[in-house]
Structure 1
């Protein structure tokens, strides 16, 4: 019985392979299309893709193209070829906006761009593109069944940009480029006013302003001390009991002491 089952499975497998090979070598696009759809339905996406690649140019602008275009994009998506899937699914949604699958294709295309977004420490060009694509989907389909997932993905992408911007600003402080650090923290706080890193960002801006001021040449010290004092005030105004209070108060004491020389 066991041997019989093995032979049946082997026969079906060889039959499927033979059917695919015949279709692949065929010059009849209808035969290739039928085989591609069959491979797709059997979730043999790799084989389906190779056949779709052959027939997609032939069906361009012809009846039946929408099904070929949709399955082609979904086959790429299911094999995690996200660049190709995004292109194909976007093309389908653009060409057939009234098709019942257009909304799904638009969402999955945007999701592909999100999948291509790298870790926050790398260049975030793809993340910015993914946010644009997902926001475009949200704007075009405000009542979509995918809305909750779309909003979650968009939020995760923005958090990644936020983390990147914060780490860049922190790096300027770490390498002691205190002037650049202050500019970077100002931009960060302006771009992400509700950030979870706000307290630390305000403290590090103070730290940068303080260190720049106390190590300045006399002609620039007064202005920079005042800037550092303003940074202190911003921190305690945001959170009076900040975890950095002791360090910040020590800085303020030094700032006030140094400012006395300019009041004489």
Structure 2
């Protein structure tokens, strides 16, 4: 029994031919020293969204084109290739290099924004070290200050708000962790104090006022007898600060209950007998 050789449809054959031809052409350009061909081919691949292949060519030719007329475009798409590949460390670095090398470029504003957004993308979840978050905030604010009328300003402000809330949550959670520790109550009071000062518009502000009051109360009732009265009075002061702003909130009744316990524990000072 004989089997006839299977014939591939003409369309598939053409596609395979084009693909193999394209791959061999890419390899030839990659291996040769013709900078002009590398530039043209890299630009073509970039426009087609073939960023990994384009990047290999760009890495070979970027040094040769610095300071030349084609260098401005090449440096921008080089940075943007890293951005599209989600390599935000290198995209941030390369976009910053672009803005320094071509401050008058028509692409300088976009490059500045994408540099800042690259650092925003590097910001980790709130529970981790926030060094990159701080840098992202710094770069976004620099962009807003430099381009106050940019059409990217609204997005930049949104990103700033997101990063600030992440820092707020980080600081608040640190204070709350101290509050849960018997030997961390002093640190909790300090942490809540710093939070209230550093984040005046935070959505966690009410909880920070209450947390400071609760920490002071716990510290007072668990102190050695000689310090109890002094610390109860301090806790009472924190209660007054809380109810000044948040008396009618969901935490108000609980705070008042604790306050009543404080009042029952405070010993009235003895008065001198009159003669």
For the aligned pair, the TM-score class normalised by the smaller chain equals over 0.9
| Pairing of 1:67-146 with structure 2 (within 5 A) | 67-146=73-152
2:66 to 46, 60, 63: 60
Q: How many residues align?
A: 264
Counterpart position of 2:32: 26
Evaluate the alpha carbon distance shift between residue 125 and residue 45 of structure 1 in structure 2; reply closer, same or farther with a 3 A threshold. Answer: same
Correspondence for 2:165:
159
Please show how residues 180-199 of structure 1 align to structure 2 within 5 Å. Answer: 180-199=187-206
Q: Distance in 1 between matches of 2:58 and 2:113?
A: 22
Instruction: Tell me by how many angstroms 1:261 deviates.
Output: 5.1
Bigger proportion of residues as helix: 1
Decide whether the 8 Å contact of 1:19 with 1:35 is kept in 2.
no
Shift of 1:63: 2.9
Moved segments of 4+, more than 3 Å: 261-264
Deviations 1:33-55 (A, max 9, x none): 11111111111100011111111
Q: RMSD value over aligned CA atoms?
A: 1.6
CA displacement 1:126-155 (0-9 Å, x = unmatched)? 000000000000000011111111111111
Residue number in structure 2 paired with 1:147: 153
- CA displacement at 1:247 relative to structure 2: 2.5
* Alpha-carbon distance between aligned partners in 2 of 1:234 and 1:125, rounded to the nearest angstrom: 32
Unaligned runs of 5+ in 1: none
Larger Rg: 2
1:44 aligns with 2:44: no
- Alignment gaps of 5+ in structure 2: 1-7
**Counterpart Cα distance in 2 of 1:27 and 1:19:** 14
C-alpha distance in 1 between matches for 2:39 and 2:54 = 9
**So what's the TM-score if we normalise by structure 1?**
0.95
Deviations along 1:29-82, one digit per CA (max 9) or x if unpaired, are 112111111111111100011111111112222331111111101111111111
Match of 2:3 in 1: none
**Residue 219 (structure 1) shift:** 2.8
> Which residue of structure 2 aligns with residue 234 of structure 1?
241
